[in-house]
Amino acid sequence: METLPGQDYGNDNDTIQYEMGPHSNYLPYNRIAKVTMKTRHWIVAISLISIYSAYILNKYDIVDPVLRDLETEFFNLLVLQKSGQFFLSFRPFLALQLYSILPLSIGLLRLFSLCLSSLTLLLVFSTLILSRVNMILSSFGMLSIMSLSIFQINSVSVNENALCWFTLVSVIHLWQNYRLTGKGKFKTMLLISVLLGSNMSIKYSGFMTLLWAMVVFNWHLWNRIIPDLGCSNKNIAKLSITHSLLLLIIPLSIFLLTSFIQITHWKFDNPEYSKFMSSYFQTYLRNNKRPITLDSRLYYGSVIELRHLNSIGGYLASVNATYPSGSQEQIVGITSQEDSEWNHFILEPIETHVRNEVQEGKIVPVKQSRPLKLRHKLTGKLLRASDVRPPISEHDYDKEVSCTGDISYNGKNDEFWKFDVTTLDEKRPVRPLEDTIQVRNIGQRCTLMSHDIKLPEVWNIDLSEVDNYLQEVICIESAVHARSLFQVILVRNAHSEPYEKFFYPSENESFKFSKLFYEIVVKQFKSDSYIGKSGTEEVDYIEVGNWPFKTLDDNIYVKHIWLSSIVSIMLVIFGNLITIVSWNPFSKLSKAETTKIYKIIFTDVSIECLVGWFLHYYVFMKWSNSEGLDVTNYFPSFLFGELLFIYLLNYFYHWNKMSLIIVPIYLLVMLYMNK
C-alpha cells in the first residue's frame, strides 16, 4: 500500500476533485491529511485544563478520608487486592491491578484519577483538532465535558471510571490519527489494539468499544481503501488481514492475561466472597492450589449439603417458617449461606434390606437411582414434593417442595427421592463433589430444580439464617436440565474409619485456567444480584431508557449540554434518511465531480460517532432490568454524541458561518426563561 502523506489543504473549504475509475468516481484514501496540534492549541488546551483542575481541587477535598458512595466498593476491593485476598465484583481486574501499584492513600489515588481525567480532556481537544475542527469549537467541546457533574466527581474519585474513559478517548484519538494518516498505520493499529484490550480489562462495556473499532475499521476499509484504485489488491489484503488480526488477538490476549494474573495473584481465601464460587474454585483457593482428598463414597447416615450448580452460592436449605398458602409446610429454598446447619440433610435408607443392614451397623454406600430419604438435620422434617402449586410460580405443572413431619415420621412416596448421576451409566456409588446429580422425587415423578426468583421477605423468613437471600425451589416433571443439576457436598460421613479416598480434582490433573476463568466471569455477571452494594449514601437512579434525556445536574445549561448529545444523533439519522430517500441510482457520473474537505471528514466521523453511541448505549438497554445501573454508565455514549455535536457545529460553520448564530441566541433564550 502507498505510504504517501496526505495533501494538507490549508482551508477545510478547499475543493477536492474525485478521480474517475472505470465504473465510478473515487477519492484516494491518503488525499486528506490530519492537522497537528500547534503552539496556540497547546496553550489553549493546557490553560483550560489547568483552570479546570484548580476548580476541581477547590470544589472537592481530595484529602478527605471519608469515602464517597461511588468510591466505597472500589476502595474496599483495592484493599483486598493489595492483600491478595479473593473477591468477587462485576468488573474486570486491570483497574484494581493498576491502582494497587500506588500507595493506599485516598488523596494520592484521587489525584491519580484527576491526572487521568486531565489527559482525557486533552485528548478530546486534540481529537477535534486532528479532525480539522476549529479551535473555538474544540474548546467548546472540552468545556462541555468539563461542565458535567458526572465527569467532575469521577475526576477525583477512587474508582475505575477515570481510567476507563481515558483509554476510550485514547482509542478514538488514535483511530482519527489512523484514518487520516498515510503511513505508520501498523504502529497506530497496534497501539489501538493495546488500548482496546486495556479498556476491555477495566470495564466489560469495553467489549462494545472493541466491536465499535471493528465496525469502523471495516467501514473505512470498504469505503476508503478498497475503492482507491491506487492501492494494489495485495496491499489491501495484507492490510485487512493483519490489522483485523491485531484488533482481535491483542485485545483478547490482554483481557485473558489480566485475568490469569489475577487468578494466580489470589493467595488467601475470603469466605465472604468465595462462598459464591463452585467447589472446584473453592478447592483452588483454600487448599493452596492443590487437590484435596475426600471419601470416595457416601454412606447412609451421612450428613450432606446439596449444592445447586446453576445458582451462585446455591445451597439447598429449609428455614423455620411456613408457606403462607399451598401445603403451609416448612419452606425450602436455595441460599448463599455456606456451611449453615439449615443446609444440612441426613441420608436415610428406604429399602427394607438396606435399612436392616444399617441398623446392624454395616456400612452401606448410597448408590445412584436407589430410593432414599432426606431428613433436615435441624428440624427432623423430611424433604417432600407435593401436588400443590408453589406459591410464587403457581403453574399447574410445578410442584411445591417443602419439609414435613417430625423426627419420628418415616415418610411416604412424596418423601422418597433418588440421586441420578448424569455423568455415567454404571450403578456405582455416588461420589461427593465429583458427580453431578439430578434429585428426583419418586412419588410425584418430578425433578428438583431452582430458578432466579427470590422468595418474598413478607413471608416472615428469618433472613439471618440464609444470608439475606432465599431462592425458590420447585419440582417439575420436565425440568430444564441446567437448572436441575446438583452436587453433593459431604459434611460428615456416617463412619469415621478410613475407607477408599480420591483426589478432587484428579491427582494427575492440575487446576485448569480455562475452567477457573470461565467461572469467575460468569459469577461476576451474576454477583450484583447476590452481593449487596456497599456505601451509605442514597443514589438517585435514572431509568436506562431516560439516560439520554435526563441528568442529575441542576444547572440548566449543563442539562442542555447533556441533551445536545442525543440531539446530534437524531439530526444525523434524519439527515442520512433524507440522503437515502433522495438518492438516484440512475444518475450519470460526472468526470469533474468535486467535494469539500469538511464534508468528507464529517461523513466519516458521523458514522463512527453514530455507531459508537448506539453500541455503548444498546448494551445497557439489554441490561435494563439489572439493579444498580446509574446514569454514569451512559457517559461513553454521551461522549460519542457530544463529539458528533461538535462535528455537526463545525459542518454548519463551514457551510455558512452565520448558521452558528443560533447557538448564542438559544443560550440567551434559556437565560431569559430561567430568570
The confidence band for 5, taking pLDDT boundaries of 50, 70 and 90, is very low
Return the percentage of the chain with pLDDT > 70, whole number.
Answer: 84
Do residues 388 and 380 make contact, with C-beta atoms less than 8 angstroms apart?
Answer: no
- pLDDT given at position 623: 64
| For residue 505, cis peptide bond before it (omega within 30 degrees of 0) | yes
Taking the alpha carbons at both ends of the chain, their separation in whole angstroms is: 60
What kind and span of H or E run contains 83? helix 69-83
What pairing do the DSSP bridges indicate for beta strands 436-441 and 417-421?
A: antiparallel
Sequence-ordered list of residues with C-beta below 8 angstroms from that of 154, at least 6 positions apart, any chain: 70, 113, 117, 161, 162, 165, 632
Per-residue burial over 139-154, b = 16 or more CB atoms within 10 Å of its CB, e = otherwise: bbbbebbbbbebbbbb
> Nearest-CA neighbor of 156 among 67, 90, 80?
67
**The dihedral sign for the CA sequence 135, 136, 138, 139:** positive
DSSP code for 429:
B
What span, in angstroms and rounded, lies between the C-alpha atoms of 250 and 381?
57
- More confident position, 477 or 593: 477
- pLDDT given at position 535: 37
pLDDT (tens digit, 9 = 90+) per residue, 459-511? 666 666 666 678 889 999 888 888 999 999 988 887 766 567 777 777 666 78
Do residues 88 and 527 make contact, with C-beta atoms less than 8 angstroms apart?
Answer: yes
* 328 torsion bin: left (phi>0), alpha (psi -120 to 50), beta (else): left
pLDDT (tens digit, 9 = 90+) per residue, 563-578? 888 989 999 999 888 8
pLDDT (tens digit, 9 = 90+) per residue, 514-551? 889 999 998 888 776 555 543 333 344 567 778 888 77
- pLDDT given at position 198: 96
What span, in angstroms and rounded, lies between the C-alpha atoms of 140 and 646?
8
The yes-or-no verdict on residue 625 having pLDDT over 80 is no
What span, in angstroms and rounded, lies between the C-alpha atoms of 3 and 46?
33
What pairing do the DSSP bridges indicate for beta strands 372-376 and 486-492?
A: unpaired
> Nearest-CA neighbor of 126 among 196, 173, 193?
173
Helices 556-582 and 597-622: crossing angle in degrees, nearest 10, is 110
- pLDDT given at position 529: 57
Strand partners, 504: 292
In degrees and rounded to multiples of 5, residue 400 shows phi and psi of -70, 145
Nine cell digits for residue 548: 439520554
What are the DSSP calls for 557-624, one per residue?
A: HHHHHHHHHHHHHHHHHHHHHHHHHH--TTPPP-TT-EEEHHHHHHHHHHHHHHHHHHHHHHHHHHTT
Mean pLDDT throughout 643-668? 80
The yes-or-no verdict on residue 439 having pLDDT over 80 is yes
> Nearest-CA neighbor of 543 among 462, 628, 639?
628
Residue 566: CB atoms within 10 A of its CB come to 19
Vertex 667 angle, CA 665 and 671, to 5°: 115
Q: How far is CA 519 from CA 88, 207, 525, in A?
A: 11, 18, 10
* 280 torsion bin: left (phi>0), alpha (psi -120 to 50), beta (else): alpha
> Nearest-CA neighbor of 646 among 660, 632, 658, 636?
660
What kind and span of H or E run contains 209? helix 206-220
> Nearest-CA neighbor of 99 among 120, 119, 86, 115?
115
What are the DSSP calls for 128-164, one per residue?
A: HHHTT--HHHHHHHHHHHHT-HHHHHHHTSSSSHHHH
Tell me, rounded to whole angstroms, the distance of Cα 370 from its chain centroid: 43
> Nearest-CA neighbor of 270 among 487, 76, 100, 70?
76
> Nearest-CA neighbor of 389 among 448, 325, 344?
325
Tell me, rounded to whole angstroms, the distance of Cα 425 from its chain centroid: 39
Domain with CATH 2.80.10.50 in the chain: 292-503
What pairing do the DSSP bridges indicate for beta strands 292-295 and 25-26?
A: unpaired
What span, in angstroms and rounded, lies between the C-alpha atoms of 605 and 216?
10
The CATH architecture of the domain made up of 292-503 is Trefoil (2.80)
Tell me what percent of the chain is helix, strand and coil, each rounded to the nearest 5.
50, 15, 35
Per-residue burial over 597-624, b = 16 or more CB atoms within 10 Å of its CB, e = otherwise: bbebbbebbbbbbbbbbbbbbebbeeee
The confidence band for 654, taking pLDDT boundaries of 50, 70 and 90, is confident
In degrees and rounded to multiples of 5, residue 86 shows phi and psi of -70, 145
3-class SS of residue 312 = coil
Report which residue type is found at 598: Y
> Nearest-CA neighbor of 653 among 133, 143, 284?
133
Dihedral of CA atoms 169, 175, 176, 181 in degrees, nearest 10, equals: 150
> Nearest-CA neighbor of 597 among 183, 8, 20, 137?
8
The confidence band for 664, taking pLDDT boundaries of 50, 70 and 90, is confident
- More confident position, 559 or 457: 559
Rg (CA), the chain: 32
pLDDT (tens digit, 9 = 90+) per residue, 243-299? 889 999 999 999 999 999 999 999 999 988 888 888 889 888 888 788 887 877 888
Return the percentage of the chain with pLDDT > 90, whole number.
Answer: 43
Strand partners, 294: 502
Burial tier of 337 (Cβ tally within 10 Å: 0-12, 13-18, 19+): buried
| Residue tagged 463414597 (cell numbers) | 297
pLDDT (tens digit, 9 = 90+) per residue, 34-78? 677 889 999 999 999 999 999 999 999 888 889 998 899 999 999
The yes-or-no verdict on residue 651 having pLDDT over 80 is yes
Tell me, rounded to whole angstroms, the distance of Cα 452 from its chain centroid: 19
**CA neighbours within 13 Å on the CB side: how many for 388?**
14
Do residues 278 and 436 make contact, with C-beta atoms less than 8 angstroms apart?
Answer: no
Sequence-ordered list of residues with C-beta below 8 angstroms from that of 538, at least 6 positions apart, any chain: none
What are the DSSP calls for 257-268, one per residue?
A: HHHHHHHHH--B
3-class SS of residue 486 = strand
What pairing do the DSSP bridges indicate for beta strands 501-504 and 594-596?
A: unpaired
Vertex 216 angle, CA 212 and 217, to 5°: 115
Mean per-residue pLDDT over the chain, rounded:
84
